[in-house]
Amino acid sequence: MHGKAPKGIITDQCLGIRAGIENVMPETRHRLCIWHITKKIPEKFKRHKRYEELQSDLNNIVWESISEDDFQNQWEDFLIEYGLEDNKWLSDIYEERHRWVPIFLDNFFWAGMRSTQRSESMHSYFDKFINNKSLLIQFVKQYDNCLGWKEQQEREADVEDYKSIIPCATNSLIEKQFQGAYTNAKFKEVQKQFRKKANCILHLMKAVSTSKVYSILEDVSTSKERVYEVNYNAETKDITCMCQMFESRGILCRHSLVVLGHERVREIPRRYILDRWSKLVKRRHSDIKSSHDPSLLNPKTERFDDLCSHSNSVAQFASQTKETSDILHRYLDMAMADCQKHVANSSSNANELDNLLT
């Protein structure tokens, strides 16, 4: 990653890993896998006489708290209710709450991830190819087959994004905007929020000039409702919701969409549509040579691989000082300009030839 640390990283509760991250990547936001923590609840409390209630209440506190104060107040009440004030495991994970409880982390972008995803992703990924009786030599072979299968899936998904369109669930022009921008997989996630708008009731709480504060009452189940606060600026079209879905997952929540619809917003600012999920973006990994299936290589990929290999030694040498780095940057800019000029001239000559032939 060329010395650039990730903005966020998710791991299990390993003190060695934590020490390494704090030492090598001190600016990286470190999150603990919530799956690894919550899966221990049965192990810790299954002998409690009110285990079923305890598990349900603890899950609600972890997942449903609407603010940090709300979490802390509910946590204290929970300990008293079940007589767990002196439970060391609960005390330890409470001290770590800022590393794993969603309400303490959702103000930071995690692309929708809250766990290391091993249980639901890595295991199921390899289950189609190996099992616990597979020999090591079989694993090596099947690992290649697995990667080939995954590559093929990604190619098919790219083709599907261009040739098929998922119908909009509503008549919203904003939904249509997402439909044209996002891959089918991500658009399906966005659509869920448009459908859930039906469970929301809007009320204007305060309006000062172009700034407004809305209260959104949402029926989260047949017997449960929750209130969210949404801030909206009609001049800048900035919108924020206390659920922080956009900040943590990059998707506008149903509460924000209700407000935008009420305000008759026809098109949202470009900042609310992330390039990482755009079907128009060229994915650089598609140019990387696949070691397990050379037959899939095309001339462009081979040229790309050759250029990377040739330029790597030049970049390593030039990066030794700022002066030599600046020299290489200057020549790369010149080379890019020459390449663009060549492509433009080639295109122009081809058009002239077509005109002559017709």
Is 355 a residue whose pLDDT tops 70? no
User: What integer pLDDT is reported at residue 352 of this predicted model?
Assistant: 63
Could you report the per-residue pLDDT of 41-78, keeping only the tens digit for each? 999 999 999 999 999 999 999 998 988 999 999 999 99
pLDDT of 344: 83
Question: CA 345, CA 338: separation in Å to the nearest integer?
Answer: 10
Rounded Cα distance, 130 and 143, in Å? 9
Q: Residues 232, 238: contact at Cβ < 8 Å?
A: yes
CA nearest to 13, candidates 110, 114, 93:
93
282: pLDDT strictly greater than 80: no
Q: Are 109 and 250 in contact (CB under 8 A)?
A: yes
| Rounded CA separation 171/194 (Å) | 10
Q: Pick 349 or 149 by higher pLDDT.
A: 149
pLDDT of res. 113: 85
Average pLDDT over residues 34-40: 91
pLDDT reported for residue 283 = 61
Using pLDDT thresholds of 50, 70 and 90, give the confidence band for residue 298.
low
Choose the weakest-confidence range: 90-94, 253-257, 337-341.
Answer: 337-341
Which pair of tokens denotes residue 21?
Answer: 């991250």
- The answer to whether residue 320 scores a pLDDT higher than 90 is no
Q: Which residue has the higher pLDDT, 156 or 186?
A: 186
User: 65-73 contacts: CB < 8 A, separation 24 or more?
Assistant: 65/101, 65/102, 65/103, 66/103, 66/226, 66/228, 66/242, 66/243, 67/103, 67/242, 68/103, 68/104, 70/103, 71/97, 71/101, 71/103, 71/104
Lowest mean pLDDT among 51-55, 131-135, 172-176, 318-322: 131-135
Whether the predicted pLDDT of 288 surpasses 80: no
Instruction: Please say if the pLDDT value at position 261 is more than 80.
Output: yes
pTM here?
0.69
Mean pLDDT of the 301-322 span: 79
- Residue 296, pLDDT above cutoff 70: no
Residue 304 has pLDDT above 90, yes or no: no
Over pLDDT 70: what percentage of the chain? 89
Percent of the chain with pLDDT over 90: 54
What is the rounded average pLDDT of the residues 233-240?
Answer: 94
Q: Please write the tens of the pLDDT for every residue from 115-135.
A: 876 545 666 667 777 777 878
Secondary-structure breakdown of the chain: helix, strand, coil percentages, each rounded to the nearest 5 = 60, 10, 30
Q: Which residue has the higher pLDDT, 334 or 152?
A: 334
| pLDDT value of residue 156 | 81
| pLDDT average, residue stretch 139-158 | 80
Question: What tens digit of pLDDT does each residue of 197-234 get?
Answer: 999 999 999 999 999 999 999 998 888 889 999 999 99
- Beta strand 211-221 pairing with 200-208: antiparallel
Q: Decide if 278 contacts 271 (C-beta within 8 A).
A: no
Q: Is the pLDDT of residue 348 over 80?
A: no
